[in-house]
Amino acid sequence: MFVPYRHMRFGAAFAVLKFSFATALVSVFLLGCSSYQPDYSGIGADGRDAAYAHHADIALPFAAEGNAEIADLIRFAQQQHPLVLAAQADVERARAEITAAGAWMDPELSVSQGINDSGWQTLGLSQDIPVFQRRAMAIEQARAGYRAANARLAQVHADLSANVVLAFSEYLYVLENRNIQDDLIALLAQAVVIADQRYAAGDVAMSDLLRVQNAHDEARSERANITALLVSQRARLNSALGRDARAELPQHFNLVDTHREYAHLPASADELYSIVAKQNPRLLAAKYEIQALQVGKDVANTAGLPRFMVGVEYMNTAMGDGTFTGMASVSLPIWRSSYRALQESAQANMQRGEAELQAAQLQVQAELSMALYQWREAERNEQLYRDVLIPRAEQAVASLLSQYSNGNASFTDVLNSQQEWISFSLAYQRALANQLSAVATIQSLTAAVAQSEVSQ
């Protein structure tokens, strides 16, 4: 049977086309089923020791002489600490999401080829049109997330400020504790000399001399314990500053001067409650997150509405010239149960966010109330120990030590007076540290978010 050459050519082209189409389908299938195995070995491995060395070598922002400014320490931590870097990265993520939310969906390109008619081809291009304010809602939701991220950054700054002051005050307290212990050791050394002299003269028994020596050795051992504790407090302060725990700290700190410069309330109690309600970063972050959830609720309400696409299609056939046609399509949101579930989920998220905001408001008020109480209590204790109890205790120690050297008092009286003096001195230093900590908490609760960041 004779087969025309033109039919043979079309048959060969048809076979080639079917083979190419099958090859393309197999290639797409293999690409879709290919496995993915990321390499996690480099995360946190390279440069970990270098990072430790970097943080250890960072110089603190004050000179080698003079007292450290606590505000400088706070600024240092807010610039260097990894938590700040993480929060800043979160802000950049939120900023990028605004751009992503405003982007249009990619257009779709479709190509079709006739299988039993190799001369029939079409080429289509379509674009999704974000009707029902979908694009505007996505942008506003991303902006609310950006505002929340900035508020969280301000909260990190506030928390770091409180942590630095708390660690700094405890470090200074231990330093002052060691200084007081040095004074006690000096007093006991003087008592040992007096006891030796009186024992040599036969005025006191061996038991009294041994008690004095034991008290002196015990005080020296306690100083060694305080020095070891100072190493831990140094690590705590370095951690709050974003430095390696083993990094050295200058030794020119002074708790009394730091307390005098920093331990002041920024406003009256009533004003503080008002400030906290208006600008507390934790509350602002919760409010902005609720705004995002509110927009998410509107997005869920439009999820069940049709999506609209427009486009153009070019069709070419072997029988004639190519043809351009307009094209419009809409989605058919017929599975209503899924859309109702989205709306219910969005509503539940709103309720959760509002409840969490109310809980945060109550928590912040309670924290402010407790910080104010601690500040007032420390203020009373500071005045009591500084102006009344410590001067009396110092006078009693000096008087009894003089009487002991003259044989008019027992070593028990001297020891009791010294213990009373050291107890009052430590309580005074504790009041200073507690007041610093209370002010740090109040400052962190009243920290403000930059208006330029909120208005984005």
3-state secondary structure 42-65: CCCCCCHHHHHHHHHHCCCCCCCC
- Range 124-143 burial, b when 16+ CB lie within 10 A, else e: bebebeeebebbebbbbbbb
- What is the reported pLDDT for 21? 55
pLDDT digits over 232-272, tens only? 999 999 999 998 888 888 777 788 988 988 899 989 989 99
Query: Quick count: other Cβ atoms within 10 Å of Cβ 218?
Result: 12
Residue with more model confidence, 191 or 386: 386
- The domain limits of the chain are 67-104+143-304+337-454
CA angle, residues 294, 298, 301, in degrees to nearest 5: 140
Residue with more model confidence, 269 or 42: 269
How far, in Å, are 9, 18, 28, 134, 171 from residue 23 at the CA level?
21, 9, 9, 39, 72
- What is the reported pLDDT for 37? 77
Residue 284's pLDDT band (cuts 50, 70, 90): very high
Cα 27 to the chain's mean position, in Å? 47
pLDDT digits over 357-402, tens only? 999 999 999 999 999 999 999 999 999 999 999 999 999 989 998 8
Residue with more model confidence, 23 or 221: 221
Least confident window among 12-21, 327-336, 367-376:
12-21
Length of the chain measured in residues? 456
Residue 22 has pLDDT above 80, yes or no: no
pTM: 0.80
CATH classification (class only), 67-104+143-304+337-454 = mainly alpha
Residue 138 has pLDDT above 60, yes or no: yes
Query: Rounded to whole angstroms, how far apart are CA atoms 234 and 225?
Result: 14
Residue 5's pLDDT band (cuts 50, 70, 90): very low
